Structure 1
Amino acid sequence: MTTEIKPVTIPREVADAIETLRRDSASDPAFDNEGIAHAYVTESYVGPIALNLRKIPFDTLMRALLDGYERELTEEEKRAQSATYVKHRYLEALEFADEDELQLGFINGARFVLDEFGITIEGVNA
């Protein structure tokens, strides 16, 4: 049995801080995982990068460095992802609406909720 290691989701500013530290510049060498962890725990290391790193617990930072990470979605990205899901599910329900009363109920419910909240999704209620 294998265990799948999934990346942890971290705030965008933490991901930016990690990527900034990993980037090699003319004045500063790139940080490896140990250097990033050291920047997190060393109180004398201050500045926006260190403050952003410390926005998550140390264990979460270690998981992000070792297992990988994904950036948290912005509200706009979350809405777009939800709209895509609703449209996909709606179109899927349309395929079986003639044969399945439950699918027809989903279609009517989806349109109703979107209309009530004033949300327009191309191909669903627009």
Structure 2
Amino acid sequence: MNDNQIAVTLPTIPKEVADAIETARKQGACNGTIIDVRNDDFTLAGVSGAVLRLISLDTLLSALINGYAVEKSAEELEREAHAAIREMYRYHTTGVTDEEDDAYADGVLDTLNTLGIKIEGVNA
């Protein structure tokens, strides 16, 4: 990056807001129209001003101008967490392990079992 470039961090917005923006865009709505819908000054079929108000006006403006990332769903976050736990468990239980690895793996199993969480490849 040279001295004249500015790094832009894309905002992360809820899926509902991203869907509303995409619905508005498919109807040919410009940024101003989407803001009008947010303010209940204008209506678009299938686009709720209340949904657009789930995020701040500044965040919405940034999303409209710079683009955005969509928040991960609870299911996606759970899948990623389970995959990370599974990988960490495999690391500590395969190959040559020492007492610390065994203790770590036992701790993972104990925690998951205590919390009633089942993860394929670990304790299910």
Range class of TM-score, shorter chain: 0.7 to 0.9
Aligned to 2:14: 11
Aligned to 2:119: 121
Aligned to 2:90: 91
Q: Distance in 2 between matches of 1:9 and 1:86?
A: 25
User: Offset of 1:67 from its aligned partner?
Assistant: 3.0
Q: Distance in 2 between matches of 1:78 and 1:112?
A: 22
Q: Does 1:52 align with 2:51?
A: yes
Note closer, same or farther for the CA distance 1:68–1:95 as it changes in structure 2 (3 Å cut). Answer: farther
Partner amino acid for 1:45?
F
Maintained 8 Å contact 1:8/1:70? yes
Partner amino acid for 2:104?
F
Structure 1 consecutive aligned stretches of length 4 or more whose deviation exceeds 4 Å: 1-4
Give the alignment's TM-score, normalised by structure 2: 0.76
RMSD: 2.6
Note closer, same or farther for the CA distance 1:7–1:97 as it changes in structure 2 (3 Å cut). Answer: farther
Note closer, same or farther for the CA distance 1:45–1:97 as it changes in structure 2 (3 Å cut). Answer: farther
User: Offset of 1:100 from its aligned partner?
Assistant: 6.5
User: CA deviation digits over 1:87-112, x for unaligned, max 9?
Assistant: 122222335761462x3332111111
Residue correspondences, number: 119
Note closer, same or farther for the CA distance 1:77–1:40 as it changes in structure 2 (3 Å cut). Answer: same
Give the alignment's TM-score, normalised by structure 1: 0.75
Aligned to 2:64: 65
Partner amino acid for 2:118?
T
User: Offset of 1:8 from its aligned partner?
Assistant: 1.7
User: CA deviation digits over 1:44-73, x for unaligned, max 9?
Assistant: 225752221111100111222233222223
What SS does the aligned partner of 1:121 have? coil
Q: Percent identity?
A: 34
Gap regions ≥5 residues in structure 1: 25-29
